[in-house]
Structure 1
Amino acid sequence: MSTEGKLKEDEEPVHHFKSQFVGLENNPTEKTCLLCDLKFILPTNDKQFLQHLFEKHRLVIGDVEKISSLQSYIHYWRIRFMEAPLTSFCTTMVMNCTPDGEPSKNELYYLLSDCILEDKTLRYELHQTRLEWAIAQQSKERTDNKFKRGCLFCHMEISGTRSAYLNHLSEKHNVQLGKPENLVFIDKLLDKIEEKIRKLKCIYCEKDFKDRNVLKEHMRKKFHKRINPKDKTYDDFYITNYLEPGSTWRQRQNDNDETEDLTEFNSDNEDDDSWADWDEKEICVSCLLCSKTTDDFSKILEHMVHQHKFDFIESTKDFNFYEKIKIVNYIRRQIEEKKCIYCDDECEDVVDHMIANNHQKIPQTKAWNQPEFFFPIEESDSFLYHLDTSSDDEDDEKKTNDNDNDNISAVTEDNDEVAILSREMAYACLN
């Protein structure tokens, strides 16, 4: 894949695009597709939008999660695509399947990514602009001493600064929203929390209650006087999310927790160098049918066989890499929706249903061989990263040179030669 025109690590691009930026607030807004007139509500329906691009236009946007404002990004490229063909801006890929998964030779797809200078510059400026916008808002909030608001949990009215209000919630009611210096758009955050409490809904688990006293007791006993870090609707209220593309306050919170855990185990008698080999973090793999996790992929496979009577390796032995991706994502979706992977019946304990009815098997192809299952159901699903190595380990003696279905060809505008990309890179493009 050509990297000509790619920015150097320490090179800052020249600003060109700021006047075209829209929707920095990321409020749900109707946006028109890059290549047709179909409309989507972004960022609410971003997954459906990306699926549409892949299925209808064979276009994949690389590292979408690192784009600071998808609305502005789409707005810009829609205009540019009207001026020149896709091949002027995208890397062309040749795959041996159609978007619906049917085998077919030399099918063209397009990858829009920051390998292109213009795209990288756009992403950089989007990030910088949104960061400056958030910092300006935070600075305004921190210097405003005319803030006044009634407490969410008592009759006291707090005047002065937002920091004083947040400290009151923390000290008097043990409500932990985060340090004031880490928050932004605090008024909207408080409005959001107040609305949930008004509806008698827990701010952490969002369970509904019959009256305010029962809700308060639940939040106290369950330690739910805090924000659920898995709730992405709170991301815009944490300045951390604006600092680095793709970084979230959840990740930094986990990093802080890990640091604190290591500190607890540290002692004055230990040599710091003894931790030198512990830099790499193990990645846990989760079972497809339950919440069991382990850092050993083979143990997860054994667990599914012994605990759920489901042999993933045997069930997918005749599948290629892309079909295995779809199967994993299909099963994840079914289990998440409490539906049997074989008969599609919905039941409260779907795994027990599958075992009782001998439904721990792959259904008909039409159920799972859909383009939507190219995209992971779980964020950073490490099960998918083991598919390639697991199949290779099982079939070492069966390998041949006829691997057309497992390869992707990349063609760049500057180079007519076809470069074979690994299956890992293929997955990265589709993730």
Structure 2
Amino acid sequence: MADENEDNKEYRWETGYEKTWEALEEDEDGLLESSIADIIEKSKRKRHADKIGVRLGMMRHMNVIVDCSEAMQDQDLKPTRHMCTLKLFEGFIEEFFEQNPISQLGIIVTRNKRAERLTDLSGNYRRHLEALQTQCSDPNYCIGEPSLQNSLELAYSTMRMLPTHTSREVLVIMGSLTVCDPGDINVIIQQLASAGIRCSVIGLAAEVCVYKLLARLTRGSYSVVLDDRHFRDLLSAQVEPIPMPESGDASLVKMGFPHHLSHGGKEAPFTTCMCHLEDGSSNNSTTNSNSNSNSNNTSSKLNKLGYFCPQCRSKYCELPVECRTCGLTLATSLHLARSLHHLAPVKPFDPLDVKTNLTSLPRKLCYACQKTFNEEKNVYRCGSCHCVYCLECDLFIHDILHSCPGCTIRPTPTPAITPTHHNHTNGGGPGVGDYSKKLKV
């Protein structure tokens, strides 16, 4: 909303003169990579600080709109924008389902002034990866101009009827500076905002007014990539669950925990799961198909193993999934446990300047990787166990590990200046007593 108030005051060329280049400093070799890395790291730490005390949406439905227009063939991202986007997007899909195992994702591509649905909303990440590799890997796939309006309307048609206890999101990866739409795009933007569908945009070229307007009205985020590493960080930021609106009511979600059906000692018959039932019908209707591929598809559909819905006995080959027969969400306890770290995230560590605090530190080494602090500019100390970590380990703990190694080992916090002592215990730990308190809050 601050951007809206600022835009209403005056035009950009009428604002005050800003020396934006002063934020960039050259290193000893005359390069700007260190300054860009500092900007990215500061944004990461700010993102971790904003997660504390925020109600998050654990069940997510996200449609990703990928630009496959002619502009994606530019080579400012190596080897091309299209190939770089596919490579990073594949990693994003795997990380998304790793951090959000009970969520669903769909892919929409826009090219040649149209919007095409590549995959439906599904929790099967292999289906998304196969669709990208088989249909979008061709360099000649990118043609024409994108249509943002058609893409948003296609995403809106599939997400407007979803339940309100799930977060509904749209992520737009756009490389073109222009769009070709059949009507007024402000209409669909207002519909998305009214429905509470959050839209975030990642631009590959430059800032565009309509992309910024879309993100602002739908309470999303809008960023322009600096390089491929920054592109990866922006995608990783979309992996974390978004805050739920304050107006949303807490509701209980009925879930089923399927099991392998017993046949009383008899050999289980070969059956087709509900996941590949539509694939079999579509393959039978298509022509000019390869006989080898048909035999492989048949062997993958007919099998003895599978997960059976406890409510309607429908068979599925992978979890989590939403039952197509009764609509029950099927998952395992492991999927719920993997989503648990979002409820109690690791608190941001306190930054310490190495030059002023190096002598007072009990250890001159990182507690995790044992790297010396002589080459570090800042180090970070846990507020509970007072263990000191380097920057790489700090980001690794908050992004991937989701638990402090010092707090896991030590039953009680140690003073910040006294030497460290390893007290190993068989149970308890700092997370047991504090964990129930965090959940009550």
- Please tell me the TM-score bracket, short chain as reference: under 0.3
Q: Which has the higher contact order (CA 8 A, sep 6+)?
A: 1
TM-score, normalising length from structure 2? 0.24
TM-score, normalising length from structure 1? 0.24
More helix by share: 1
